Amino acid sequence: MSGRAKATEISNNGPGKNGRIFIFTRSGWDEQPRLRHQVAKLLVEAGEEVHFFQGSRYLWQKVSSSDDIKISNKFYIHRSAQLLHLQLRLTSLLGWINGIVEARSIKKSISGGVRLDDVVINFNYDFSFLRKLFVKNKIVTIINDDFIAQAKFFKGGHVRESLKKTCAISNEVLAVSYPLIEQLKNWCKPKLFLPWADVPYTAPMPPSSPRNAVLLWAYIDVRIDFTLLCEVAKSLPNSDFHIYGDHFWRIEPEIKKAMAFPNIFFKSSARLDNIDLRAYYAAIIPYKSGVADIEAVTLSNKSFQLLARGLPLVTSGMPNFFKHPSIHNTSTTESFIDALNQCSEEFSVIQPSIEEFVQENQPSARYEQLVKIWTSI
């Protein structure tokens, strides 16, 4: 399994050592890492046997050798078959039929059949059929997106019904933000489950010249507030704004406008460890206001990755984002500029607070949280 060494030592004691953990998600394993990939990696490194079911193929597509892959003795990747795209399952009947198809496909990939000590971690809002497949097993569902807000038809009514059913069949439901917890409270008793740091805190290296740059490290799409970005760059002419990440083709006109500013620079997508961070005094997450799925975020997956490298954060468009001295949540251009100025002035002063926060949120803390859930069900 590729990736960094463990950030902290994880105990190899815990449930699952004699069983298997099945993770269900719509993400491909080779996609940009998200929470589901991190959970899988965390569990494998803790000594668990993990079976990762990635995004489904359609029923009429040919079965491929890549549908069932053994990566190691502890890690397997599978792909099941679906009948309809999730956005087209607009009625309970269509969802039920698709569930039958998908359950049969999943069953074929479970070597030796389901065992009593198997554990399920589900990231899909519409997988209530899992209870018929894993009748007496522990099912933990993790909701990490506002799926109702993302629905394209009927104001998400069909999604709401599917989510309700999936919560009902789950032994435990976890959510990644406070707004999602409020949404799910109607059907269950959800608990908060935040991302974690991929590495221990590392004190920033002394720069060869004063820190004068700001980092935006993200997938660049229509949710990025380019108007805010340009206004801030204009107001802070002595700061350079470096933007790393792939971009959505529809925002190319916005990118061209931003490139007209002499202190905004677009760079190719890169791993954080391949970026020289000595020039930066802050990282920014500048989203537009009023985007439902963004407003539901309490702590983004990349937040701890940036904080672990000593970079304080400045956000916009995220009113429910986690509150901490190293995280500046803003709602206006002026407050965004003030926050960046504060980060520049207090960069060294804030480091002990960042270090403590990062060390409290290492992989071992999340693994222990999952262990407590398993043992309490």
Residue 165, number of CB atoms within 10 A of its CB:
20
Number of neighbours of residue 316 by Cβ within 10 angstroms: 27
For the stretch 319-367, pLDDT in tens is 999 999 999 999 999 999 999 999 999 999 999 999 999 999 999 999 9
- The predicted structure's pLDDT at residue 68: 78
Give me the pLDDT at residue 15, please. 44
DSSP string, 129-157: THHHHSTTSEEEEEE-S-HHHH--SGGGH
**What pLDDT band is residue 152 in, cutting at 50, 70 and 90?**
low
**Is residue 19's pLDDT more than 80?**
no
Query: How many Cα atoms occupy the beta-carbon half-sphere of 89 within 13 Å?
Result: 21
CB 204 within 8 A of CB 310: yes
Buried b or exposed e, range 127-148, using 16+ CB within 10 angstroms: bbbbbebbeebbbbbbbbbbbb
11 CB-contact burial (10 Å; exposed 0-12 / middle 13-18 / buried 19+): exposed
| Residue 234: HSE in the Cβ half-sphere, 13 Å Cα cutoff | 11
pLDDT in tens, 86-103: 555 556 666 666 666 787
Would you state the structure tokens that stand for residue 96, as one six-digit string?
């039920």
Residue 78 backbone phi and psi in degrees, to 5: -130, 160
Superfamily for the 21-196+362-376 domain: Glycogen Phosphorylase B; (3.40.50.2000)
Q: How far from chain centre, in Å, is Cα 79?
A: 20
Task: Extract the tokens encoding 368.
Answer: 């222990």
Taking only the tens place, the pLDDT of each residue in 209-260 is 889 999 999 989 999 999 999 999 999 999 999 999 988 888 999 999 999 9
Burial label, 212 (beta-carbon count in 10 A; 0-12, 13-18, 19+): middle
Indicate if the pLDDT at residue 110 is higher than 90. Answer: no
Same fold flag, 21-196+362-376 and 213-358: yes
**Minimum mean pLDDT range among 155-169, 211-225, 275-289:** 155-169
Confidence of residue 4 (pLDDT cuts 50, 70, 90): very low
Burial of 20 (0-12, 13-18, 19+ CB in 10 A): buried
What does the mean pLDDT of the chain come to?
86
Tell me, what DSSP letter sits at residue 171? S
Structure confidence at residue 13 (pLDDT): 46
The two structure tokens encoding residue 309: 């490298």
pLDDT per position as a tens digit, 286-301: 999 999 888 888 998 7
Global pTM reads 0.77
Q: Could you give the CA distance from residue 277 to residue 198 in angstroms, rounded to a whole number?
A: 17
β-strand partners of 192: 175
Residue 161 clears pLDDT 90, i.e. is over it: no
Q: Which tokens sit at 289?
A: 């206001």
**What pLDDT score was predicted for residue 7?**
35
How many of the other CB atoms lie within 10 Å of CB of 332?
11
Q: Helices then strands (H, E): number in the chain?
A: 13, 14
> What is the pLDDT averaged over residues 296-308?
90
Task: Tell me the two tokens of residue 269.
Answer: 């997508």
- Classify residue 209 by its DSSP letter: S
User: Is the pLDDT assigned to residue 6 strictly greater than 50?
Assistant: no
3-state secondary structure 13-69: CCCCCCCCEEEECCCCCCCCCCHHHHHHHHHHHCCCCEEEEEEEEECCCCCCHHHEE
Return the CATH number of the domain spanning residue range 213-358.
3.40.50.2000
Query: Are 330 and 287 in contact, with CB atoms under 8 Å apart?
Result: no
C-alpha 354/C-alpha 307 separation (Å) is 7
Residue 204 has a CB neighbour count (10 Å cut-off) of: 17
Residue extents of the structural domains in the chain: 21-196+362-376, 213-358
Q: What separation, in Å, do the N-terminal and C-terminal C-alpha atoms of the chain show?
A: 30
The SS3 call for residue 202 is: coil
**pLDDT band for position 34 (50/70/90)?**
confident
Which one, of 64, 69, 102, 96, lies nearest residue 83 by Cα? 102
